[in-house]
Amino acid sequence: MKHSCEVPPRGAAALLAAGLCWPAEALAHSPIAGLNHFYNGVLHPAVVPAHALAAVALGLLCTQLPALPARRVLAAFLLGVVVGLAALALPDAAAGAGQALLAGAAVLGLLVATGAPAAARVLPLLAAVLGLCLGLDSVPEPAPGTLDWLLTLVGLAVGVGLIVSAALLLASRLGQQAWQRVARQVMGSWIAASALMVLVLGSGMGAAGEATGTTALLPSAIAR
pLDDT of residue 60: 85
Where exactly are the structural domains of the chain?
Answer: 34-202
Burial of 141 (0-12, 13-18, 19+ CB in 10 A): middle
Cα separations in angstroms, 167 against 8, 54, 59: 26, 11, 5
pLDDT of residue 26: 39
Q: Model pTM?
A: 0.70
Backbone conformation region of residue 34, classed left if phi is above 0, alpha if psi is from -120 to 50, else beta: left
pLDDT of residue 15: 39
pLDDT of residue 31: 59
Consecutive sets of 10 residues in the chain, 224 residues long: mean pLDDT of each?
41 41 44 73 84 88 83 89 84 80 92 76 89 86 74 85 80 69 87 90 59 41 44
pLDDT of residue 64: 82
